Structure 1
Amino acid sequence: MSATPLAAHPSAHQSVGPVPAFRGRIGRDARSGHYAVPRRYRLHLSPADPDGLRIAVTHSLLGLDRACPVTFLPAVPDCPDGGHSALRPLYEASAHHYTGPALAPVLSDDWSGRIVSTHGPDIVRDLARHFGGGRTSLYPCGRESEIEAVERMCAQGIEGAAQRAGAAGTGESERTAALGALLGTLGVLDQGLRTQAYLIDNQITAADVELWVALVQLDTVHRHHLDADAVRRIAGHPALWAYARRLAAHPAFGAHLDLDGVNRRHHARCQGLEAAGSAVQILDWATHSTPGTDTEAQVGKV
């Protein structure tokens, strides 16, 4: 399997260069190359990373502990290039003369000892479509376009806007415009959640996983680079944050929330300046989250 050069997802307030990414997919039968077989595949991820958190929550919602084991990685990568030494053998087996960082998340094939995919959205979709077994429908039939719309809102209207609003070295007008875009997106979502428990079909879907992770990042990462007034305005969406609190109490969500890991990962990677908003926490995530096994204690475990 070859590696295709694609841009990696940049972390908050830090840019990374292009790195090889793997975009294999799990299919329905042997003709697809990677077909769905229980315990053939393995996830390697850190819930302190947004992609890793999305995948971990999805994995738990689908009940895939036996069908697709997980190896948890440290919150902060142990290699100078930002990669994980534990993933180096997989990368080297999957790409000839690979010299780049061994990044997570990874979906690997235990049969071949190679990487199937490092693309978080593809991994989430393939797990849901081919291993869900009817336990829960994270992608309800006919609602794909709505889920994709939520994904865009989260990526552009929350994550992207929050990064621009808190970026150092940008002009006041640009930061104001970015904050306006962020507040506008939160307002739309808050309005919808005033009359329904979840975003689509009144059930938990992939859209809820996407939004919840974006809200976690907003309060635990992006808030530190915004001024106090901006954070108070962000917090002024009661239905939205009540929804985030409610999902945090769900075992599939809250059990994977590694607050200490998120904090250490952020401080290890972030190059931005801390602002007054750092002192204005929106949710007490530790209080509302379902207790789970300490992720750091699970590092390297199946």
Structure 2
Amino acid sequence: MSVTPLAAHPSVRPAPAFRGRIGRDARSGHYAVPRRYRLHLSTADPDGLRIAVTHALLGLDRACPVTFLPAVPDCPDGGHTQLRPLYDASAHRYTGPALAPVLSDDWSGRIVSTHGPDIARDLARRFAGGRAVLYPCGSESEIEAVERMCAQGIEQAAQCAGDAGADAAGRAAALETLLATLGVLEQGLGVQPYLISDQITAADVELWVALVRLDTVHRHHLDADAVRRVAGHPALWAYARRLAAHPAFGAHLDLDGIARRHHARCQGLEAAGSAVQILDWAAHAADGNSLPSQVNRP
């Protein structure tokens, strides 16, 4: 599938407090050493779910251990008490929320990065070691285009389409943007199994997480007719179902956690679309017992 890059717009992700990178060698300061780094993730959060799937596809449970965080942050500002010591050690008098995801350096006890896309890229580029090629050579612009398509054409459009406080014309326009985006993806996935390659790439991780959120979060604020129109893309949802059955994807799908996080934060009104589930994710997801035994999950 050929993906046309969209014009750049401000990201819907919050600005990261830390944005260090894993370099090629010791001259970069942070470089790839097995078990030097640790991930702190909540898979109820979209960035956390993307990183968890990437980590699993790369088979990095021994090289880069993971600490899983509660689905619902325990601080009023949306941060995690468990992460506060890392933030305090990494920035003098840090006053912001202790947000996940976090990639920390066990050697220094400090944070390397809180920027989800950078963390995923560095895991794939510096630790893959011949495993899954999630960022094929020459594919960067296509992967970035998919990221923008998911952020703007799915996530942002679905939010606006379900915003009860917006005017009817604005909601209708946002729904049309969402359906147009899904239509483009439907065409591509109708003729090939994955987005930009004959194997799973980072673009597929991005789209799958966006589809999970569309059905488990945004659907609750859409009317029933809108959800039926969203569901009317059989190739796209068959693709989502097929990836859910892959252990790297389905084993990290915390449906209860996503629901609890959504209800804890959401101030929108529930609409009739809540009753029109698109996929039975629990039935299609791979067995969660395949998660590595050394992973800490609350």
TM score, norm. by length of structure 1:
0.92
Q: Distance in 2 between matches of 1:67 and 1:107?
A: 13
Q: Distance in 1 between matches of 2:271 and 2:209?
A: 22
Deviations 1:129-150 (A, max 9, x none): 0001111100000111111111
3-state SS, counterpart of residue 77 of structure 2: coil
Q: Distance in 1 between matches of 2:159 and 2:282?
A: 24
Q: Distance in 1 between matches of 2:139 and 2:16?
A: 32
Residue 201 of structure 2 is aligned to residue 205 of structure 1: yes
Q: Percent identity?
A: 83
Selected match of 1:30 from 12, 26, 43: 26
2:3 corresponds to = none
The 1:9/1:89 distance shift into structure 2, 3 A limit, reads: farther
1:13 corresponds to = none
Question: Does the 8 Å contact 2:195/2:203 carry over to 1?
Answer: yes
Runs of 4+ in 1 over 3 A off after TM superposition: 7-10, 297-302
Question: Does the 8 Å contact 2:16/2:114 carry over to 1?
Answer: no
Residue 280 of structure 2 is aligned to residue 280 of structure 1: no
Q: Amino acid of the residue matched to residue 94 of structure 1?
A: S
Q: How many residues in Structure 1 have an aligned counterpart in Structure 2?
A: 288
How far is the alpha carbon of 1:168 from its aligned partner? 2.3
C-alpha RMSD of matched pairs (Å): 1.9
3-state SS, counterpart of residue 169 of structure 1: coil
1:3 corresponds to = none
Question: Does the 8 Å contact 2:12/2:156 carry over to 1?
Answer: no
2:5 corresponds to = none
Deviations 1:93-132 (A, max 9, x none): 0010112211000000000000000000000000000001
Question: Does the 8 Å contact 2:40/2:66 carry over to 1?
Answer: yes
Residue 127 of structure 2 is aligned to residue 131 of structure 1: yes
- After superposition, residues 75-224 of structure 1 pair within 5 angstroms as 75-224=71-220
Q: Amino acid of the residue matched to residue 137 of structure 1?
A: V
1:21 corresponds to = 17
Q: Distance in 2 between matches of 1:101 and 1:9?
A: 17
Question: Does the 8 Å contact 1:225/1:277 carry over to 2?
Answer: yes
How far is the alpha carbon of 1:293 from its aligned partner? 3.8
Q: Amino acid of the residue matched to residue 268 of structure 2?
A: G
3-state SS, counterpart of residue 21 of structure 1: coil
Question: Does the 8 Å contact 1:29/1:36 carry over to 2?
Answer: yes
Q: Distance in 2 between matches of 1:277 and 1:298?
A: 39
Q: Distance in 2 between matches of 1:151 and 1:273?
A: 28
1:230 corresponds to = 226
Unpaired stretches in structure 2, ≥5 consecutive residues: 1-9
Unpaired stretches in structure 1, ≥5 consecutive residues: 1-6, 11-17
1:242 corresponds to = 238
Question: Does the 8 Å contact 2:250/2:288 carry over to 1?
Answer: yes
1:63 corresponds to = 59
How far is the alpha carbon of 1:200 from its aligned partner? 1.5
TM score, norm. by length of structure 2:
0.93
